[in-house]
């Protein structure tokens, strides 16, 4: 069954949805019939292979790039997070839940134009603790060019009984689904669709804004996921709403989204012309509902390097993620 591009107008939108909105609709359709999450489907991440201690995943760059045509940091974070877990799946299976404990990502700053390939492998196992821990590493490449590399620790947990086991999205499965129409969406799915429409409309409205405005450099993906930080001198904040559009298969905010939020907010503490070199993160508790707030500040800024911390908290001030980043002047 091939995709059916159903007309999905809302009463307030007289124009046909743009390709980004249709991409969200496709992701909604895919996650409806499987046990995987919307962010992965939205980015077009696919599993090429999973063996005992290794995994290979792919993701088209296509629309997963920033305004300069470079891989979008949040997309890299999600791909890396999924690939890091996939290397462990060959051993523990897809029925099991893996919770990220900590992660460290390094970005090379190299340009990538070809389909991204993530190769991951398990580094060690530790079963002598109260919970089982697995460590894995990954390299993300565009052709022969390494874009980023990472390692992470995961806790091996039981999957909630009311949540489905994860599936293996293949490149073919991304094309073999009948798209939902607007009248087919649940209330939760419709809220996601309306977020996508708003992100599209906001992008068109900002087309005529000044080129120096940070908002004008934001992509549809960043607007859709709420990665729109506000700078406050040498600090910055950003708020995102939890929900299906950024959730994993158990309903928590997907780990790569949290990392992307921390990166966006950390970069907002400096002027243009800086990029993320490295980020280290501790995952304290899951983001489950309500609003998450990221707050970053510069610890020290030199001529070419800056060190930034970022805390992501719930709307009741409970800590979700804590990061330390090194930014480098381009």
Cβ density class 301-316: b for 16+ within 10 Å, e for less = beeeebebbbbbbbee
**Rounded Cα–Cα distance for residues 210 and 214 (Å):** 9
Chunk the chain into consecutive blocks of 10 residues (it has 330) and report each block's average pLDDT, rounded to whole numbers: 36 61 92 86 93 95 87 97 95 89 97 93 94 97 96 89 66 68 91 95 72 68 97 96 93 96 98 95 94 98 98 96 97
Cβ density class 164-179: b for 16+ within 10 Å, e for less = eebebbeeebbeebeb
Reported as a single tens digit per residue, the pLDDT across 183-227 is: 889 999 999 999 999 999 998 876 655 444 555 589 999 999 999
Q: What is the pLDDT of residue 96?
A: 87
**Rounded Cα–Cα distance for residues 125 and 282 (Å):** 19
State both tokens at 54.
């290794």
On whether the CB atoms of residues 42 and 31 are closer than 8 A, the answer is no
On whether the CB atoms of residues 103 and 152 are closer than 8 A, the answer is yes
Reported as a single tens digit per residue, the pLDDT across 58-111 is: 999 988 998 888 899 999 999 999 999 999 999 998 888 899 999 999 999 998
Q: What is the pLDDT of residue 126?
A: 94
**Rounded Cα–Cα distance for residues 282 and 171 (Å):** 32
On whether the CB atoms of residues 329 and 274 are closer than 8 A, the answer is yes
Q: Is residue 127 helix, strand or coil?
A: coil
- What are the counts of helices (DSSP H) followed by strands (DSSP E) for the chain? 6, 12
Q: What is the pLDDT of residue 211?
A: 46
Can you give the length of the chain in residues?
330
State both tokens at 266.
């950390």
Q: What is the pLDDT of residue 179?
A: 79
């Amino acid at each position: 069954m091939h995709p059916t591009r159903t007309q999905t107008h809302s009463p307030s939108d007289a124009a046909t949805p743009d390709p980004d909105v249709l991409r969200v609709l496709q992701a909604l359709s895919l996650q409806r019939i499987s046990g995987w999450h919307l962010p992965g489907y939205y980015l077009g991440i696919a599993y090429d292979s999973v063996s005992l201690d290794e995994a290979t995943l792919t993701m088209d760059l296509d629309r997963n790039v920033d305004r300069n045509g470079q891989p979008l940091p949040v997309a890299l974070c999600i791909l890396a997070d999924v690939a890091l877990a996939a290397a462990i799946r060959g051993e523990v299976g897809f029925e099991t839940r893996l919770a990220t404990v900590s992660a460290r990502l390094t970005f090379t700053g190299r340009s990538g134009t070809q389909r991204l390939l993530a190769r991951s492998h398990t580094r060690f196992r530790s079963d002598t603790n109260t919970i089982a821990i697995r460590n894995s590493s990954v390299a993300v490449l565009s052709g022969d060019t390494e874009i980023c590399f990472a390692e992470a620790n995961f806790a091996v947990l039981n999957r909630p009984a009311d949540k489905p086991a994860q599936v293996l999205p293949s490149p073919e499965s991304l094309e073999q689904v009948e798209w939902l129409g607007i009248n087919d969406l649940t209330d939760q799915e419709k809220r996601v669709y309306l977020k996508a429409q708003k992100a599209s409309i906001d992008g068109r409205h900002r087309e005529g804004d000044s080129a120096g405005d940070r908002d004008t450099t934001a992509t549809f993906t960043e607007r859709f996921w709420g990665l729109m930080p506000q700078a406050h001198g040498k600090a910055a904040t950003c708020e995102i709403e939890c929900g299906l559009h950024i959730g994993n298969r158990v309903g928590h905010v997907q780990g790569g989204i949290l990392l992307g939020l921390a990166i966006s907010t950390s970069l907002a503490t400096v002027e243009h012309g800086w990029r993320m070199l490295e980020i280290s993160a501790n995952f304290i508790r899951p983001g489950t509902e309500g609003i998450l707030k990221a707050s970053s500040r510069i610890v020290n800024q030199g001529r070419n390097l800056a060190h930034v911390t970022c805390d992501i908290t719930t709307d009741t001030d409970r800590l979700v993620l804590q990061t330390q980043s090194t930014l480098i002047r381009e």
